[in-house]
Structure 1
Amino acid sequence: MTDESVGHPFDTGEGWQPTQWTLPRGAAVDNLASSLFGQGFTDGIVRVLSRAAVRPDEMRRKLTESVELRVQGATLLIVETRLWSASVVPHPANPREYGRRTYALGGTGTTLPEPRSAPSKGAELEIHVEDPSALAQRLEDAKGRLTKENPLSEDIAVEGVLQPLTVVPLTVNHHNGHPAASLLIAADGSSRISAVHDLLGYSPSKVAYEWGGDDRKFRQEVNRWIRLVRKQGWENLSEEEQAKARALTIPARVVVGFRSDARANQLFHTAVRNFIGLTHIRPPKPYGPAVENEAKADAVLDVLAQPTTTRPARISASEKQWFAGVITEHDALAEGFSRHRDVRAAEIVRAVLGGGIGTARRVNDGIRSLTAKQRPKREDRVDIAVELILRPVRTEKSDALQFVRPRRAVLQRAYRMPEIEALPSDSPLEGTAEDPRSLEDLRDEALEEVEHGLGDSGRLGIAQTELAVKAAYYMAIAEPMALQREVFGGSGDEDDRTLPVVVRAMLSRRRGVFQAYEIVRAGRLGQKLYEVDEAGMLVLTVGGEARELTDSLVRHTYNGEALAEVASGFKAASLRWADVTTTVEALKKAVASMTRVPIHAGGASLVERDGWDSAQVSSLRQRLDRIDRTLANWADRYDDLDESGARESEEHA
């Protein structure tokens, strides 16, 4: 029998009967270690990886013909082999737990950092933690949660681990001076390795820090099971012992190399996360919408913060941390960021959603890196921005679904305003270190835009939009919420306008601008939100108390109707233009509604089969044609005056 040779397989019985492995000799382990040094690994990773191989000689041969595994922006080089289960731990920042993470910006200060690429620029990750107990506790928590939520122990007890785990080297550096730890983590397969450890009675922290740092203890642990099987024979083992023997080794795809695409300039940790996303955010076991958006949000931040060969970084490294919520409020202030949550929300909205097609392409690159979704929609980008905005809120509320879920839905709807995409990507926002404007200045600019009819014509101005983004944040977070989802299928009295329509109607009025200003002012001070009048003064009830702002009050006050006192001039005309565009939309909906009328219940469309009276259709088309010509005349007149004004400017230049 050679260094890692195999005995004869056990006779077939109930469940999988694994091959009886032997403990590799030291010479085989040393030979593999020599080959691994050629892959650019650090000494510690070479040691743990060479002893982890069940068949070191086989793995050494495979290193010369590693398999290429393509991910978005890079190629991973892998070797398929078997590893001892006592050598692998779960991913310490397992994305499956994104939805429960706490973030330092929310006040807990307990965020575990994401593994990053090692300085060697090879196929190795590194992570910095305060001390061994921080990572040990994280590994224990991960194992407990994974075995509870994704239980695989019963299946593995009978069949062992069927699909290979993707294993990546990780070096753990400690701030308190404790020696670095070298680990092998399951980038894909944390649930499986957690189930294996559960069967064997292994503590992942023990695997990481006790066996991981002591070769003798590691080999003793592995050899005790080998001796047990050899001594008693398979048929004499108890069911529990057979289950442990099946879990003693795991099939693995060990990442031994990495090559970034020439144009992507991608780092190793990004390639690993892209692989995880392609494996889990898509089937077979989706993480769920909120968690998917969390994972995609980090991928998007990576793309925005990473320069390419043709484009500079969209956000700085410190902005990335602030947006991700992984720094404390104190550290954020030290970096020059605002303490106000609405300013952070506006910055995230502008970085992820503003800037037009240029930003959309970069954000889509991040989404595709995890989902392979070829054409992400605007809604996808909005959902990602909202998850980033809500991270500190979720932490403060302990991720209470009854609080977070409705607010997530409201912000996702409100931030679908098309005006947001037109926000300049490089212009400063009120409240940032680069912008000297005050909140009052922003209010006054929005009032000027109202006077010019912006909003009534279907589009808010830049100041109106910025104020809307900030006010919508506090209106959604408030208790009770001052902005809620539209109601469908009610008695007919409910206001079923979408949130962008409601917010636009509000910011199109002077009173609405004053109201939005008051919302942001009060929100920043942690005060309740109250209604204001046309002059921006608080509205008092009969009892002399301020009237608290509610969704129904907002919808009633800003119902989209034209103001009766505005009867002439551009303002009056812009209000009528809003009526025109609204009527056209109503016509489109009416035509679509008529198209859906079936011949009979469950049948095909009546008009698509039988058509409609040609005389009635011709009459309506003639009226529409006259309207069309009138609108065309208005446009021609506008263009003529515009060209005339341009010529006059040139003549006087």
Structure 2
Amino acid sequence: MAGELTRHPGPDAAADARPADDVPLDMDAGWQPANWPLPRVNAVDNLSDALSSRGFTEGTVRVLSHGAVRPDELRRKLSDPAELRVQGGTLLIAETRLWSAAVVPHPANPREYGRRSYALGGAAAGLRVLPEPTTSAESPAELEILVDSPGTLATRLEDAQGRLAKDNPLGEDVAVEGVLQPLTVVPMTVRHRNGHRPAALLIAADGSSRISAVHELLDYAPSKVAYEWSSDSRLFRREVNRWIRLVQKQGWESLSEAEQQKVRVLTVPARVVIGFRPNERTLLPFHTAVRNFIGLTHIRPPKPYGSAVENEAKADAVLDALAQPTRTRPARISELEKQWFAGVITAEDAEAEGFSPHRDVRAAAICRSVLGGSTKRRVNDGIRSLTAKQKPTREDRVDLAVELIIRPYRTEQNDLLQRVRPRRAVLQRALRLPEIERHLRTELRLEGATADGPSLEDLRDAALEEVEYGLGDNGELGPAQTELATKAAYYMAVADPMALQREVFGGTAYEDDRSPATVLRAMLSRSRGVHQAYEVVRAGRRGETLYEVDEKGERVLTSGGEPRELTDTLVRHTYNGEPSRTDGQSTGFAAASRRWAEVRAKVEEFTKAVDAMADVPVTEGGKSLVERDGWDAAQIAELRRKLDRSDRRLAAWADTHDLAKEAAREQADDEETR
């Protein structure tokens, strides 16, 4: 029964289930970079001499020598460059680290094709597309570009940085892990029609989005990088050294989160192009070879793996993170559990090791390990190991959990997309049920996980008690309801016909547009729905067809006397989300729970209304009216007084509840000591 499941059906079940070692889950450490020192002047001078001897222009020698984090290393690599073949020739490259203050985005970035402003169309001078770079007349492995004035280039660099940060936002990713993949950096000389002295740049031919994100984090203006730091080594070294000295003075742990993010991107890995060997047959110029390289990378890149493959890879990385102990905490799953979750052991071997043969039990165990709140940090670490995504969302975690769950099913179906794809989509939406993260925790005994654990009947009875207590109607399922919903969702999704499908987008008013997670909550909020979920799991484990059941758990028969097969339409019609009207209760906790659900819904509605008001612009496409002009103070004061009164009432209820719990604990302690 419920006691055997060690579950608490009251509203504080989630709080009671919180593990003792629970810590804030959004305080992920991120990458701690090496403490790079400011290079010695003689090392910079030695690199300058080596670059000059290879025929680089004076400007390139200056920016590349002071831009190198380790000048001695780059100098050694000049004599033994790596080769990167491109269409039309071979680029000679040296892999090294550069200070981020030495690199700018490609000023004629091809990512802006399709939105460029052309002079023939009447574009303003400062916004017109820049000419394509050409090969430098002074050095065969440098580019050259001609612009009207420094202001022209500065405007284009600022505009490019803003667009790149908007179109390909990488700021959150590099803030946590820095730049992982090297930028392909090419020297470029900027010449000006107005007679201003040339400017030497190191441009990111491949990686403009990354360096733009870095500059945004560091608050670097590209024009300052291009026209101040590139021409004055003392200013450049002063800018770099202020961050180095900050770390040396305060220590990494004493830096604020914002300061740590900036230090992480103080340097970037780079493949610096230091030479070019053209194809003897085509004699393609250097600037064309660079353009071909960019096109191969972005215009005709390798075909993306696709979301399913990406989630598969991330899922394996997450399992590694869960199975790996840290300095302060043990592994979250064993090596055997890792193999079971990954699906790399046979069903017979899994059962021999003590794992359940039932797919729904494995699905619930995966949800508990991947989606449970107490493992969130480990899971996010695993995701970031492949993506460097700063803040993986709950949707990210659900999607990779689903890929693990459906691995056996996919194998059985030979990866037939017409069967696998809709079931993957349904499970992704169904397992976004927020209660899964709150209730499926390791300290609660999972039904079916061990031979001596709670039975399926125990789980059903505990869920029925939670229904009687009003859980579900109050807007949130209890622990037993949640576990049963998770297990039933698996069989309802893989059934044929599917008994749970995706919501209808853009349908008529008569079509049900609720998400599968919402439908599950409505279903498990009713005694009949609990009996239905129990029957789904029972039949699913036996490989039987799913049939509809009534309030007593008995099969519903058609007019012809045949059991009625369970379908998505039938489930949505039966569990339409309306409050129960059959029990007539107007008193007690169940009735109060329904009222609490209304309170939560109205508050959510109020929040959305405030957001909608904030979105009203002054003019089409303009700024928010209320953010610019505000709103009548007397009207707002009146509304705030009403909200304050409700807020004080809610706080009083919470205090009363806490006092009652404390009194109950003291009474229990007294009885135990008698």
Q: Do the aligned partners of residues 553 and 619 (structure 1) sit closer, same or farther apart at CA in structure 2, a change above 3 Å counting?
A: farther
Matched, 1:506 2:527: no
Distance 2:448 2:93 in 1: 52
Q: Do the aligned partners of residues 159 and 550 (structure 1) sit closer, same or farther apart at CA in structure 2, a change above 3 Å counting?
A: farther
Q: Which residue of 1 aligns with 2:386?
A: 370
Distance 1:494 1:628 in 2: 37
Matched, 1:640 2:659: yes
Q: Which residue of 2 aligns with 1:517?
A: 534
**C-alpha contact 1:566 1:572 (8 A) present in aligned 2:** no
**C-alpha contact 2:318 2:383 (8 A) present in aligned 1:** yes
Q: Provide the secondary structure at the position in 2 that maps to 1:367.
A: helix
Deviation at 1:612, TM superposition (A): 5.0
Q: Do the aligned partners of residues 497 and 604 (structure 1) sit closer, same or farther apart at CA in structure 2, a change above 3 Å counting?
A: farther
Distance 2:361 2:461 in 1: 18
Amino acid at match of 2:597: A
Distance 2:593 2:420 in 1: 38
Distance 2:462 2:474 in 1: 18
Aligned match for 2:470, one of 443, 453, 458: 453
Q: Do the aligned partners of residues 614 and 561 (structure 1) sit closer, same or farther apart at CA in structure 2, a change above 3 Å counting?
A: farther
Q: Which residue of 2 aligns with 1:46?
A: none
Alignment of 1:172-211 (within 5 A): none
Matched, 1:404 2:410: no
Distance 2:417 2:403 in 1: 13
Alignment of 1:571-610 (within 5 A): 571-599=590-618, 601-609=620-628
Distance 2:353 2:91 in 1: 47
Distance 1:626 1:82 in 2: 72
Distance 1:408 1:474 in 2: 12
Amino acid at match of 1:587: F
**C-alpha contact 2:356 2:449 (8 A) present in aligned 1:** yes
**C-alpha contact 1:337 1:432 (8 A) present in aligned 2:** yes
Deviations 1:41-65 (A, max 9, x none): xxxxxxxxxxxxxxxxxxxxxxxxx
Deviations 1:601-637 (A, max 9, x none): 5444444455556565455444433333332332233
Q: Which residue of 2 aligns with 1:334?
A: 352
Deviation at 1:446, TM superposition (A): 1.2
Deviations 1:503-562 (A, max 9, x none): 222212211111110111111122222221111112223333322222232223222322
Distance 2:577 2:457 in 1: 25
Amino acid at match of 2:401: A
Distance 2:637 2:511 in 1: 36
Deviations 1:59-104 (A, max 9, x none): xxxxxxxxxxxxxxxxxxx9x9999xxxxxxxxxxxxxxxxxxxxx
Amino acid at match of 1:351: S
Deviation at 1:431, TM superposition (A): 1.7
Q: Provide the secondary structure at the position in 1 that maps to 2:389.
A: coil
Q: Provide the secondary structure at the position in 2 that maps to 1:339.
A: coil
**C-alpha contact 1:429 1:435 (8 A) present in aligned 2:** no
**C-alpha contact 2:477 2:521 (8 A) present in aligned 1:** yes
Q: Provide the secondary structure at the position in 1 that maps to 2:611.
A: helix
Distance 1:161 1:543 in 2: 77
Q: Which residue of 2 aligns with 1:325?
A: 343
Identity of aligned residues (%): 67
Q: Which residue of 2 aligns with 1:296?
A: 314
Alignment of 1:462-473 (within 5 A): 462-473=479-490
Amino acid at match of 2:515: T
Q: Provide the secondary structure at the position in 1 that maps to 2:406.
A: helix
Amino acid at match of 2:437: E
Aligned match for 2:435, one of 419, 427, 437: 419
**C-alpha contact 1:428 1:434 (8 A) present in aligned 2:** no
Q: Which residue of 1 aligns with 2:363?
A: 345
Deviation at 1:501, TM superposition (A): 2.6
Q: Which residue of 2 aligns with 1:88?
A: none
Distance 2:382 2:404 in 1: 14
Structure 2 unaligned residues grouped into runs of 5+: 1-76, 96-180, 182-278, 283-296
Q: Provide the secondary structure at the position in 2 that maps to 1:492.
A: coil
Deviation at 1:445, TM superposition (A): 1.4
Deviation at 1:495, TM superposition (A): 3.0
Distance 1:641 1:331 in 2: 50
Distance 2:413 2:571 in 1: 26
Matched, 1:548 2:589: no
Q: Provide the secondary structure at the position in 2 that maps to 1:402.
A: helix
Q: Which residue of 1 aligns with 2:502?
A: 485
Deviation at 1:473, TM superposition (A): 0.8
**C-alpha contact 2:363 2:487 (8 A) present in aligned 1:** yes
Q: Do the aligned partners of residues 347 and 157 (structure 1) sit closer, same or farther apart at CA in structure 2, a change above 3 Å counting?
A: same
Distance 1:311 1:352 in 2: 17
Distance 1:164 1:522 in 2: 63
**C-alpha contact 1:300 1:363 (8 A) present in aligned 2:** yes
Q: Provide the secondary structure at the position in 2 that maps to 1:333.
A: helix
Q: Which residue of 1 aligns with 2:577?
A: 560
Q: Provide the secondary structure at the position in 2 that maps to 1:496.
A: coil
Distance 2:522 2:322 in 1: 33
**C-alpha contact 2:360 2:491 (8 A) present in aligned 1:** yes
Q: Provide the secondary structure at the position in 1 that maps to 2:454.
A: coil
TM-score by length of 1: 0.55
Q: Provide the secondary structure at the position in 2 that maps to 1:505.
A: helix
Q: Do the aligned partners of residues 349 and 593 (structure 1) sit closer, same or farther apart at CA in structure 2, a change above 3 Å counting?
A: same
Q: Which residue of 2 aligns with 1:630?
A: 649
Q: Do the aligned partners of residues 490 and 600 (structure 1) sit closer, same or farther apart at CA in structure 2, a change above 3 Å counting?
A: farther
Aligned match for 1:526, one of 519, 540, 543: 543
Matched, 1:442 2:489: no
Q: Do the aligned partners of residues 494 and 617 (structure 1) sit closer, same or farther apart at CA in structure 2, a change above 3 Å counting?
A: farther
Q: Do the aligned partners of residues 362 and 639 (structure 1) sit closer, same or farther apart at CA in structure 2, a change above 3 Å counting?
A: closer
* 542-551 or 592-601, larger mean C-alpha shift: 592-601
Distance 2:650 2:321 in 1: 44
TM-score by length of 2: 0.53
Q: Provide the secondary structure at the position in 2 that maps to 1:591.
A: helix
Q: Do the aligned partners of residues 623 and 548 (structure 1) sit closer, same or farther apart at CA in structure 2, a change above 3 Å counting?
A: farther
Note the aligned Cα RMSD (angstroms): 3.7
Structure 1 unaligned residues grouped into runs of 5+: 1-77, 84-151, 166-187, 189-233, 240-278
Q: Which residue of 2 aligns with 1:61?
A: none
Matched, 1:316 2:334: yes
**C-alpha contact 1:428 1:435 (8 A) present in aligned 2:** no
Deviation at 1:424, TM superposition (A): 2.1
**C-alpha contact 2:361 2:487 (8 A) present in aligned 1:** yes
Deviation at 1:331, TM superposition (A): 2.3
**C-alpha contact 2:363 2:490 (8 A) present in aligned 1:** yes
Q: Do the aligned partners of residues 403 and 601 (structure 1) sit closer, same or farther apart at CA in structure 2, a change above 3 Å counting?
A: farther
**C-alpha contact 1:475 1:482 (8 A) present in aligned 2:** yes
Distance 1:462 1:514 in 2: 16
**C-alpha contact 1:599 1:606 (8 A) present in aligned 2:** yes
- How many residues align structurally? 398
Matched, 1:428 2:457: no
Q: Which residue of 2 aligns with 1:360?
A: 376
Amino acid at match of 1:481: M
Deviation at 1:577, TM superposition (A): 1.2
**C-alpha contact 2:473 2:579 (8 A) present in aligned 1:** no
Q: Do the aligned partners of residues 299 and 515 (structure 1) sit closer, same or farther apart at CA in structure 2, a change above 3 Å counting?
A: same
Deviations 1:143-170 (A, max 9, x none): xxxxxxxxx9xx97965899999xxxxx
